[in-house]
């Protein structure tokens, strides 16, 4: 599939990873857009670090790795994604923000452009409804770290065409990814919904004093052959994101998805600038009342 240009909206954790893997795998221009220069600078630095690691590991020459980062253009203006074959949105998990972003992209991009959202679990159908091309909107749920993780969960909105599913499958294959297709746009899709239940039970075990975060992680790693335990994974994803997803699933599925009080307290502590709220391991080390 010939792709002239790929646009990425949001240069945070996921946008940076998706832009990097696209620039690494495809000889195409990648335009990354954010709202402030400091985010773009951080994104560039983290792409440079990923490129350097690839050189250290012998996966690329210094020249090849430099080319990857040179393919990425950093911009503060969404107009710069015009002309892209595919635009992937990776702004925070907030439905109103995503709908606003898609309405803007719909105005800026030609009718041929596939508009994709990296949402973890928000309704693709509703995001697509912010545009006049809901048939060309799809969920492309990459996993963190996007340059490493094999899966992309493709999510059909009510109106997503078969042609867009095929286009997304081809694009992901060209990035070296495997895909699954979520046929029904249900909250949390497949992977987020199942992961949320797993996180919730781990949080309840900690809240109820059943075991420490370290022992729950160790137990899950060794018992299930998972590379990380639930608390390590929550720290990697970001507690704000874990809570946002949990609240969204609670509003759809009710009591069985009620967010954990402990998680809410930790996110609020983080918002107040307390270091102890930033992750389970700093939290565990400092004690619950730190």
Ligand X SMILES: NC(=O)c1ccc[n+]([C@@H]2O[C@H](COP(=O)([O-])OP(=O)(O)OC[C@H]3O[C@@H](n4cnc5c(N)ncnc54)[C@H](O)[C@@H]3O)[C@@H](O)[C@H]2O)c1
CA-wise closest residue to 71 among 7, 146, 149, 141: 7
Among 3, 6, 9, 276, contact with ligand X (rule: CB under 6 A): 9
Q: Which is nearer to ligand X, 34 or 217 (CB)?
A: 34
CA-wise closest residue to 134 among 118, 150, 111: 111
- Is residue 244 within 8 Å of residue 270, measured between CB atoms? no
Q: Which is nearer to ligand X, 9 or 206 (CB)?
A: 9
278 in contact with ligand X (CB under 6 A) = no
Residues 65-104 that bind ligand X (CB under 6 A): 90-93, 97, 101
Copy the structure tokens of residue 34.
């954010």
249 in contact with ligand X (CB under 6 A) = no
Q: How far is the CB of 42 from ligand X (least distance, A)?
A: 8
Binding range to ligand X, per CB under 6 A, among 28-36, 65-73, 201-209, 251-259: 28-36
Rounded to whole angstroms, how far apart are CA atoms 174 and 159? 25
Among 3, 6, 13, 154, contact with ligand X (rule: CB under 6 A): 13
Binding residues with ligand X: total (CB under 6 A): 27
Measuring CA to CA, how many Å separate 16 from each of 48, 140, 222? 11, 15, 31
Closest residue to ligand X using C-beta atoms: 12
Rounded to whole angstroms, how far apart are CA atoms 14 and 119? 10
CA-wise closest residue to 30 among 65, 4, 50: 4
118 in contact with ligand X (CB under 6 A) = yes
Residues 205-244 that bind ligand X (CB under 6 A): 237-238, 241
Q: Name every residue whose Cβ is closer than 8 Å to that of residue 63 and which is 6 or more positions away in sequence.
A: none
Q: Using CB under 6 A as the criterion, which residues of the chain lie in contact with ligand X when the complex forms?
A: 9-15, 33-35, 39, 90-93, 97, 101, 118-120, 141-144, 237-238, 241
């Amino acid at each position: 599939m010939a792709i002239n240009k790929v646009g990425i909206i949001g240069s945070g954790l996921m946008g940076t990873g998706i832009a990097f893997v696209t620039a690494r795998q495809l000889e195409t221009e990648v335009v990354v857009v954010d709202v402030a220069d400091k985010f773009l600078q951080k994104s560039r630095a983290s792409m440079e670090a990923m490129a350097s690691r690839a050189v250290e590991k012998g996966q690329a020459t210094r020249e090849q790795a430099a080319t990857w980062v040179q393919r990425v253009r950093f911009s503060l203006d969404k107009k710069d994604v015009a002309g892209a074959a595919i635009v992937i949105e990776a702004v925070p998990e907030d439905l109103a923000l995503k709908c606003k972003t898609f309405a803007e992209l719909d105005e800026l991009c030609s009718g041929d452009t596939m508009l994709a959202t990296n949402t973890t679990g928000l309704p693709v159908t509703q995001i697509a409804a912010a545009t006049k091309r809901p048939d060309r909107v799809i969920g492309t749920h990459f996993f963190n770290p996007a340059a490493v993780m094999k899966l992309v969960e493709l999510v059909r909105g009510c109106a997503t065409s078969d042609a867009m599913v095929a286009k997304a499958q081809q694009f992901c294959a060209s990035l070296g990814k495997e895909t699954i297709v979520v046929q029904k746009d249900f909250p949390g899709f497949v992977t987020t919904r199942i992961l949320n239940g797993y996180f919730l039970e781990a949080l309840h075990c900690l809240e109820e004093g059943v075991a420490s975060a370290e022992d729950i992680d160790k137990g899950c790693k060794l018992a299930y052959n998972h590379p990380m335990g639930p608390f390590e994974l929550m720290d990697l994803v970001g507690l704000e994101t874990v809570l946002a997803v949990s609240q969204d699933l609670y509003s759809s599925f009710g009591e069985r998805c009620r967010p954990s009080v402990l998680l809410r307290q930790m996110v609020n502590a983080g918002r107040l600038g307390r270091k102890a709220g930033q992750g389970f391991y700093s939290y565990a080390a400092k004690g619950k009342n730190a």
